[in-house]
Amino acid sequence: MKKPFRERIKEGPIVCDGAMGTLLDLYEYPELPHEIQNVKNPDIVERVHREYISAGSEIIESNTFSANRLRLSQFHLQDQLGDINRRGVEIARRAAGDTVYVAGAIGPTGMLLEPIGKIKRQQARDAFKEQMEIVLEAGVDLIMLETFVSVQELDEALAVAKSLTDLPIVAQKAFAEDGAILSGSFPIDVIEHLIEQGADVVGANCTVGPQRMFSIIRNVHKDGVILSAQPAAGIPTLLNGRSIYHTTPEYLATYAKELVEAGVTLVGACCGSTPGHIRAMAEVVKGMKVGKPAPKVEIKSREKLNIPPEPQYYVESSRWSKFARNVGKKLMTTVELDIPRGLDMTSVLEAAQYCSERKIDAVNITEGARARLRMSSIAISVMIQQRVGIEAMCHRATRDHNLIGLQAELLGAHALGLRNVLCITGDPAGIGDYPHANSVYDVDAVGLIRAVDAMNHGTDIMGNSIGSPTAFYIACAANPSADNLDVEIERAERKVEAGVNIFFTQPLFEMRTLETFLKRTEHLKTPLMLGIIPLRSYKHADFLHNEVPGMRIPEKLREKIRTAGPDAAKVGVKLSMDLIKEAKGCVAGIYMMPPFQKYHIVDDLLSAL
């Protein structure tokens, strides 16, 4: 008979199991999610459990890691949620008998929570509660929360678990493969936070291999705290769509010994591990006592090591851009430039020079507008700043990069001297040059704003340090002509809360629309750049009004353009000038979008200021 779990963990190291998914793949049951095998092939799931028990596991985890409603819905399996979770626990209990502990495995939702993503915290709580109630009723010995990247999401799962049961709770975060982060205070802060939230056992699992896992544990040990560590079996390679791991059982066992010596009580393994790994680990920790880590070696600072500073690509007397420093001091002006296909950016540089000679404050460089293939907006913006000297407002869309790529590109942009970024969600790939390409959309514009704001405070979007903070002036789009203005205002509020500094509007054509938006957003106290696009013909006006989302051109203006005949372009410029004269006293600046390569119209628009 097994002892109560809380008594057992006071007696010394306890060995957990290894990866379930890895073995199911090896046994040719690769269908995702792996939890569906609880229903389709329960015998193979039980076989995996028994192999880990035979290898020396005192704890096995139910095959329920991904079986919450939000994850199962991605496979259209949400209706089988109860059956999948219940059977997962029943299979584990059958294999465990009276001597092995069964942990109810609970993983993250697989989706980003607000304010970064679109899933509300209440949705996550509801999903965790629904799943935990089932596994608890099915009869687990403890709850194992694991592989949570977001501390906020782990908080939600832990709070739900505490509200539902008095059983022991293990809370494990997945830390990044980043030596700078792992050797800093972040892991310690996380562990202390989880202890404060009431977890019985705290630690880390997955993502990092045994050596990095040891770095985490060595830095977070604290007297009286029960630690867990379940590293992955190294870094995989991809072969025929399958992840192949190369870490040997002997290597993992070596670090299992060091982990226990460093203060770990629950020791196991994660992705890529097999019963062979667990057997080697169980043999080496048998009879050991949980120890304390050796004193940490002080790491010398950059100054002490005499490492030269990073090269400065952008010389500026202030941390912030000239554009940012002038907003509110003068009426700002920007011009959107046309980006051609291919490599030749001569026309763009000439247009930027034209704007610079007219003292325009910045040029707007779009990011693959309408999902068309164009050179990177970052590359073009850097070219303009270096060759012409005028600042760029670099547009960044969330369509083409995941969260890793978006933040990596931003770091690179900052290193190359860009300081102004306009965050947009971006048009879906399906409407552009490559209709079969995938749109990523890990986050929308609000999430991207939050990421840039986090960088301005010295971290990435998940709170990991990036060292020195960036200095981006954060802009975003706003649409005063939106069909549902209430939704647009709510979205503007979210953008301001996320950290935006200034709005750039869609093109507007009448003062009434602008006044309504300004009144509705007065409480946000955020400057606004008025979008201006001169109409060049009735056909142009008709197209914008009927085919371009967010464009609303009053009928009386369209009629003026229609009756102007061959003078429509002149009338269009005159209408834009009239709006600028009327609006310039209540906006931060004018955002001009002249017709294709007709930059001389900028002179007419400037005359209205």
Looking at residue 439, what DSSP letter applies?
Answer: P
- Is the distance from CB of 573 to CB of 601 less than 8 angstroms? yes
Q: Quick check: 573 pLDDT over 60?
A: yes
Residue 115 preceded by cis peptide, ω within 30 = yes
CATH architecture, domain defined by 322-606: Alpha-Beta Barrel (3.20)
User: What tokens appear for 419 in the block?
Assistant: 């300081």
- Is the distance from CB of 400 to CB of 428 less than 8 angstroms? no
| Closest CA relative to residue 427, chosen from 569, 258, 548 | 548
- Is the distance from CB of 217 to CB of 183 less than 8 angstroms? no
Candidate ranges 123-127, 149-153, 565-569; pick with highest mean pLDDT:
123-127
Helices (H), 286-368: 302-305, 322-326, 346-357
Backbone angles phi, psi at 391, to 5 degrees: -75, 150
- Is the distance from CB of 179 to CB of 213 less than 8 angstroms? no
102-111, 151-160, 389-398, 551-560: lowest mean pLDDT where? 551-560
pLDDT at residue 153, as a whole number: 94
113-127, 386-400, 467-481: lowest mean pLDDT where? 113-127
Residue indicated by tokens 């169980």:
282
**Cβ count within 10 A of residue 434:** 11
CA dihedral 442, 445, 450, 452 (to 10 degrees): 100
pLDDT at residue 429, as a whole number: 82
**What does the mean pLDDT of the chain come to?**
90
Residue ranges of domains in the chain: 5-285, 322-606
CA dihedral 217, 219, 220, 224 (to 10 degrees): 90
pLDDT at residue 294, as a whole number: 56
Reported as type and span, the H/E element at residue 280 is helix 275-285
Residue 234 amino acid letter? G
Q: b/e map of 438-463 (b: 16 or more CB within 10 Å)? A: ebbbbbbbbbbbbbbbbbbeebbbbe
Residue 245 amino acid letter? Y
pLDDT at residue 177, as a whole number: 59
Q: Quick check: 498 pLDDT over 90?
A: yes
Q: Name every residue whose Cβ is closer than 8 Å to that of residue 222 and which is 6 or more positions away in sequence.
A: 191, 192, 195
pLDDT at residue 314, as a whole number: 35
Backbone angles phi, psi at 171, to 5 degrees: -120, 120
CA dihedral 374, 379, 380, 385 (to 10 degrees): 170
Stretch 580-600: mean pLDDT, rounded? 93
CA distance 533 to 550: 13
Q: Which CATH class is domain 5-285?
A: alpha beta
- Is the distance from CB of 55 to CB of 278 less than 8 angstroms? yes
- Is the distance from CB of 267 to CB of 9 less than 8 angstroms? no
- Is the distance from CB of 510 to CB of 556 less than 8 angstroms? no
HSE-CB at 382 with a 13 A cutoff on CA atoms is 14
- Is the distance from CB of 289 to CB of 11 less than 8 angstroms? no
Q: Quick check: 312 pLDDT over 60?
A: no
| Closest CA relative to residue 355, chosen from 330, 340, 334, 377 | 334
CA distance 422 to 426: 11
Give the β-pairing of 528-532 and 237-239.
unpaired
> Cα angle at 530 between 328 and 369, to 5 degrees?
120
Helices 81-96, 121-138: axis angle to 10 degrees equals 40
Stretch 145-174: mean pLDDT, rounded? 95
Q: Quick check: 298 pLDDT over 80?
A: no
- Is the distance from CB of 609 to CB of 591 less than 8 angstroms? no
CA distance 441 to 399: 5
Give the β-pairing of 226-230 and 14-15.
unpaired
pLDDT at residue 551, as a whole number: 82
- Is the distance from CB of 252 to CB of 280 less than 8 angstroms? yes
pLDDT at residue 184, as a whole number: 52
DSSP string, 211-277: HHHHHHHHHH--TT-EEEEE--SS--EEETTEEE----HHHHHHHHHHHHHTTEEEE---TT--HHH
CA distance 87 to 42: 8
pLDDT digits 0-9 by tens, 124-136: 999 999 999 999 9
Q: Quick check: 308 pLDDT over 50?
A: no
More confident residue, 91 or 558: 91
pLDDT digits 0-9 by tens, 329-387: 999 999 999 999 899 999 999 999 999 999 999 999 999 887 788 999 999 999 999 99
**Cβ count within 10 A of residue 240:** 5
pLDDT at residue 178, as a whole number: 55
Taking the alpha carbons at both ends of the chain, their separation in whole angstroms is 85
3-class state of residue 143 by DSSP: strand
Q: How confident is the model at residue 239 (pLDDT cuts 50, 70, 90)?
A: low
DSSP string, 155-197: HHHHHHHHHH--S-EEEEEPPPS-HHHHTSSHHHHHHHHHHHT
CA distance 346 to 69: 53
Backbone angles phi, psi at 275, to 5 degrees: -55, -30
